[in-house]
Amino acid sequence: MISFVVFGASGDLAAKKTFPALFQLFKKKAIERDQFRIIGFARSNLSNADFENIISMHSGEEQGSTVLKSFRQHSEYFRGNYSDKASFEKLNEKLKSYEEQDKSVLRIFYLAVPPSVFFDVCSNIHKTTYLPNNRTRIIVEKPFGMDYDSADMIMNLPIMRFMNPGIDAMFNHEHVESVEIFMKESGTCEGREGYFNSNGVVRDVLQNHLMQLFSAVAMDPPRSADASDIRNAKVKLLQAAKPFRREDTLFGQYVKSADGSKKGYLDLKGIPEDSNTATFVASTLYVDNERWKGVPFVFVTGKALNENDVHVSLHLRPKDMPYQSKGNQSRLVTFSIQPKEYVAFDCLIKRPTMAGGLHTAELKIDYDKDLEDVYQKYDAYEALFYDAIKGNPTRFVRSDEVEAGWRIVNNILDPKEPCEKYTFGSAGPKQLREYLHKYLYLETSKKT
């Protein structure tokens, strides 16, 4: 028997992501239906009809369908308080009533709740509903950030590296001059002002999402494809990374758009007029190991920018060759995650003219186009829940990995000096150009 408890069951995340993903697993029979039970836990006073509407509204299924009716019959609402031990004791009795005829029991607790109640929920789970011997699993939902739909491309990055030795042979200081890890967002902090103002862009994006990208592009080959070996390789990299330094960091905060139609950060509801919370950050770190000796990794992320763009690009070192021509012949290896998923390699070829010379051509693998026949889109929450049920931790972050990530960003969590201002819809602070020429475009900077 698998009992899947959703805390925060009355919220938008549960309605739009959690329950639709669980329904798809149920519909596809990826889980044994007769051995699966969903309990929605929240503080709201909901009727059975209210809860059935929540779990059905985004299912994509006709409301009268047989499979949706069966899914509802396997789901139940439980009203309780996250800080009330007695609520969890009652929840435990309900879980036991489902499990009493089954010797094989697994309890999965999914926290789609604000971070402020994480401790209360986890503490009460441990006191009242915890089962030993790997029969209890807790999934903590990140409040917001890069879409989970990016996960497949991120997981593919190390596979492409390590299963193609010719590619990974470039991933070192001998061939790479610098690395850029960018996550630019056109969206703002509106609607989540309280959380964001207390945390800022470093905690929101840099410490977690961009650290995952960094691990994928820079880690050494794991001993095997086993989840523990992959996670060990990530932790080894993060422990070798030198912490970000304030002197290598640029903070920014957006102001209203040039035409005044878009609010600035300080204009948002609930944001103090003197808030110095950063909505943009650029920072650079180095890795203290042989593979990446002296290579700068430049991280850039921000809100209210001119585009949505998530990518990693390796700037390859220029080579002294007989065919080297005058001018900039910089080459990139790019892994694009959003808005399009693709991998692109810049190659120098002979210019197809009688005069000759060099030309940079792009070799590109477009996921949607070139892998159309084999690329099966799936909901990332489905994959996460399926892995949690099957006990595969590859997609999940281990505690020592989290701790190592915090060590890296600890020096730059909050700006001490006033943030540089940038216009809503721009590329970021005007100082960014100079910053990138200093840390990223190393060879280009020498020529300009």
Count of domains forming the chain: 2
- CATH number at 263 reads 3.30.360.10
Query: Residue 152 falls within a domain, yes or no?
Result: yes
Question: Residue 197 phi/psi, 5° resolution?
Answer: -65, -30
With bands split at pLDDT 50, 70 and 90, how would you rate the model's confidence at 413?
very high
For residue 289, the SS3 value is coil
155 and 42 part of one domain: no
- Identity of the amino acid at 402: V
Q: Look at residue 50 and tell me whether its pLDDT is greater than 80.
A: yes
Q: Which two tokens stand for residue 300?
A: 């850039």
Q: Which of 97, 121, 140 is the last residue of a domain?
A: 140
The pTM of the full predicted model, rounded to 2 decimals, is 0.82
97 and 185 part of one domain: no
Residue 349's Cβ-count burial label (10 Å; 0-12, 13-18, 19+) is exposed
283 and 424 part of one domain: yes
228 and 335 part of one domain: yes
Q: What is the mean pLDDT of the chain?
A: 89
180 and 123 part of one domain: no
First and final C-alpha spacing in the chain: 66
129 and 219 part of one domain: no
Length of the chain: 448
Query: Residue 383 falls within a domain, yes or no?
Result: no
Q: Which two tokens stand for residue 30?
A: 């990826």
69 and 174 part of one domain: no
Residue where the block lists tokens 């610098």: 178
Q: Which of 140, 163, 184 is the last residue of a domain?
A: 140
pLDDT in tens, 308-344: 999 999 999 887 555 555 555 568 999 999 998 899 9
Strand 249-255 and strand 280-285: the pairing is: antiparallel
Query: Residue 309 falls within a domain, yes or no?
Result: yes
Residue where the block lists tokens 């009727």: 47
pLDDT in tens, 97-152: 988 877 789 999 999 998 889 999 999 999 999 998 889 999 987 643 344 455 66
CA-CA-CA-CA dihedral for 188, 192, 197, 201, to nearest 10: -50
Supply the pLDDT for residue 159.
Answer: 87
135 and 154 part of one domain: no
Q: Which of 5-14, 179-188, 353-362, 419-428 has the lowest mean pLDDT?
A: 353-362
Q: Look at residue 293 and tell me whether its pLDDT is greater than 60.
A: yes
Query: Residue 352 falls within a domain, yes or no?
Result: yes
233 and 285 part of one domain: yes
277 and 314 part of one domain: yes
Share of the chain above pLDDT 70, in %: 92
Containing structural domain, residue 80: 2-140
347 and 442 part of one domain: yes
Q: Which of 111, 140, 169 is the last residue of a domain?
A: 140
154 and 120 part of one domain: no
Query: Residue 301 falls within a domain, yes or no?
Result: yes
Cite the active site residues: 209
